[in-house]
Amino acid sequence: MQAIIYGIKAHPLALFPDFRRLFAGRVISAVGDKFFAIAIAWWVLTEAGSRSKLHLGLVMAVNVLPVVVFGPLLGTLSDRSDKRRVMLAADAARALLVLALAALLWSGRLNLYWLYSVCFLISGFGPLFESAVAASILRLTSPEKMPQAVAADSSVVQLSNVIGSALGSVLMAVAGVAGAFAFNAAGYLASFAAVMGIKTGLRPEDRPESSFLREFREGLAYTFGNRPLLSLILSFAAFNFFVSPILILIPMIVKFTLKESVTWLAIFEAFFALGSAALAVGLSFKKKYSGIYGWLFASVGLVGLAFGGLYFTANKYAVCALLFAAGAALGGGNTIAITLFQATVPDAMKGRFFSVLTTLAYAVMPLAFMTNGLLAEKFSVGFCLALNAAAVLALSFVVLAIPRVKFKS
């Protein structure tokens, strides 16, 4: 018991008030994001008619396009700017845009074209906010507590997805899709207030005067010139191509395979997030890592096995268990990879590096969403699950063959 109490007291969330403020704001904001995602998916599948599968894939593609198009530029902007101001600007802009989307729905003027346009703008501020967060973690904590802080930060989305998924169907039943949009805007405002309370200085380090374009090129040169880092990033991009479609396949499983209501969509999303959150939270108490590439191999392989299991079952409770396992594997692999990057990338380069990382990892997602939307229409949801499962299992062995990033645990 004393060891548990000591572990809690020594946790970064207990030791660093500013990190705790950022964490709390991100959790609330991400809960709203989950409400938003569930509401959009169900609205599209309900309102888009016979081509709803394709339109869901397109909407999800639109949500990640800004990351691909603007990510590296926004990462450079983050490195050159006060990270606190960057996060505040991103939260304020997203809150206003989500409220605009809610107003369109309330007025009866929301259609697919408005949805595509506003979602694109909302997503455009995501990489700006996330690159600022990634570049701030070490400053808000300490080098000794950094691995635990990364794990805690990685658990934000998963914890929020659990809460958001569990409550999503209830909120939609009470307030409707527009209510979910309004709640998301309130979440961004809560994150804004939390970031306002951060007292740690997050201004860029003093360095010789340099142009925006030069620093942008330096970020690209660092990432593409480091072969082990680049190999790992490209492996994760390939992995993402076959894993990200689960975001549109889960709603399709509920709507077309099981023919269930939005309640089961929320339940499945909750189990997927709960698995990821459980492992990420557990890793936030782990001080050191060893055998990182073995961990990554195991996590990727487990995702492939879980996806394969989804192909063979239509039992709702088995689906819950398989999604929990897939989520746990994804949460563990993501946490370990980000810890590796945080420990090896220079602090002054982190905003640019993480924006390039996100861009390369997300660049495959629009094509993945559209491809799976078309395949689900032409063949079946099960066909997509089997194809992605086989590809992920094959990719797990690639992780063992790529050049290794040197890492001191």
Q: Give how far the C-alpha of residue 287 lies from the chain's centroid of Cα atoms, to the nearest Å.
A: 23
Query: Does a structural domain hold residue 407?
Result: no
Query: Does a structural domain hold residue 408?
Result: no
Kindly state the DSSP code that residue 349 receives in the 8-state scheme.
G
> Is this model's pTM higher than 0.85 or not?
no
Rounded average pLDDT over 362-367: 77
Tokens, residue 207 = 């360095």
Domains contained in the chain, number: 1
Do 84 and 192 form a contact (C-beta atoms < 8 A)? no
Give the number of C-alpha atoms closer than 13 A to the C-alpha of residue 46, restricted to the C-beta side.
Answer: 10
Query: Does a structural domain hold residue 307?
Result: yes
Q: Length of the chain in residues, anyone?
A: 409
pLDDT at 210: 58
**How far is Cα 270 from Cα 84, in angstroms, rounded to an integer?**
31
What is the dihedral sign for C-alpha 70, 72, 74, 77?
negative
**pLDDT beyond 70 at 6:** no
Of the candidates 172, 174, 165, 169, the residue with the CA atom closest to the CA atom of residue 30? 165
Q: Is 64 exposed, middle or buried (0-12, 13-18, 19+ CB in 10 A)?
A: buried
Q: What interhelical angle do 52-80 and 350-363 show, nearest 10?
A: 170
Of the candidates 59, 45, 387, the residue with the CA atom closest to the CA atom of residue 242? 387
**What does the pLDDT look like over 266-296, one tens digit per residue?**
788 778 877 877 766 666 666 666 677 888 8
Coil, helix or strand at residue 285: coil
Query: Does a structural domain hold residue 41?
Result: yes
Kindly state the DSSP code that residue 173 receives in the 8-state scheme.
H
Of the candidates 165, 157, 71, 66, the residue with the CA atom closest to the CA atom of residue 118? 66
**What does the pLDDT look like over 217-271, one tens digit per residue?**
777 777 777 788 888 888 888 888 898 888 778 888 887 888 877 778 778 877 8
Rounded average pLDDT over 302-313: 89
Backbone φ and ψ for 57, nearest 5 degrees, come out as -60, -40
pLDDT at 387: 92
- CATH code, domain carrying 293: 1.20.1250.20
**What does the pLDDT look like over 105-163, one tens digit per residue?**
888 888 888 888 888 888 878 777 877 877 777 788 877 777 777 667 766 666 666 66
Query: Does a structural domain hold residue 200?
Result: yes
Its domain, for residue 224, covers: 2-401
Do 360 and 73 form a contact (C-beta atoms < 8 A)? no
**pLDDT beyond 80 at 96:** yes
Q: Given pLDDT bands bounded at 50, 70 and 90, which one contains residue 337?
A: confident
Query: Does a structural domain hold residue 406?
Result: no
Of the candidates 342, 337, 339, 366, the residue with the CA atom closest to the CA atom of residue 353? 342
Query: Does a structural domain hold residue 42?
Result: yes
Rounded average pLDDT over 82-99: 87
Query: Does a structural domain hold residue 105?
Result: yes
